[in-house]
Amino acid sequence: MFRLNLSLSSYLHCFFCIRSTVYYIYKNAHCTPSSVRVCLANAESSFNTRITNKNSDGSTDYGIFQINNRWWCSDGQFPSHCELLTDNISTATQCAKTIVSQQGISAW
């Protein structure tokens, strides 16, 4: 399992990157796509690559980015090109990029 601890300043940066919905704030917080992915992984899973979470609506979130099977895959079956429960951060990141390119950040 991959683990990383964020400093308070990094945590605050992540908070503003994830929470800001106004482009002006996003731009001025220096939130790059890479930093947003790191912040998202921290907020969703605390960088736990093998975590799953059962939601009250019966859906399940998978992996470091906590990708929900209601939005991306059905019945917990992942597309063959998308490994969600993997210690390979590059593979999980590529999956997240694919989802964002197809469905936008609202998939989270």
Q: 1 in a domain, yes or no?
A: no
Does the structure show a pLDDT above 90 at 56?
Answer: yes
Domain that holds residue 27: 8-107
Model's pTM, two decimal places? 0.65
Is 83 in the active site? no
Does the structure show a pLDDT above 70 at 98?
Answer: yes
Q: Which comes out higher in pLDDT, residue 50 or 23?
A: 50
Q: 93 in a domain, yes or no?
A: yes
Our count of domains for the chain comes to: 1
User: Catalytic pick from 61, 75, 83, 87?
Assistant: 61
Q: 3 in a domain, yes or no?
A: no
Give 62's strand partners. 52, 67
Q: Which comes out higher in pLDDT, residue 107 or 94?
A: 94
Does the structure show a pLDDT above 80 at 90?
Answer: yes
Torsions phi, psi for 68 (to 5 deg): -85, 135
Q: 52 in a domain, yes or no?
A: yes
For residue 52, the model assigns a pLDDT of 92
Is 61 in the active site? yes
Q: 2 in a domain, yes or no?
A: no
Give 67's strand partners. 62
Which CATH number fits the domain that encloses residue 68?
1.10.530.10
Q: 12 in a domain, yes or no?
A: yes
Q: 102 in a domain, yes or no?
A: yes
Mean predicted lDDT score pLDDT of the chain = 71
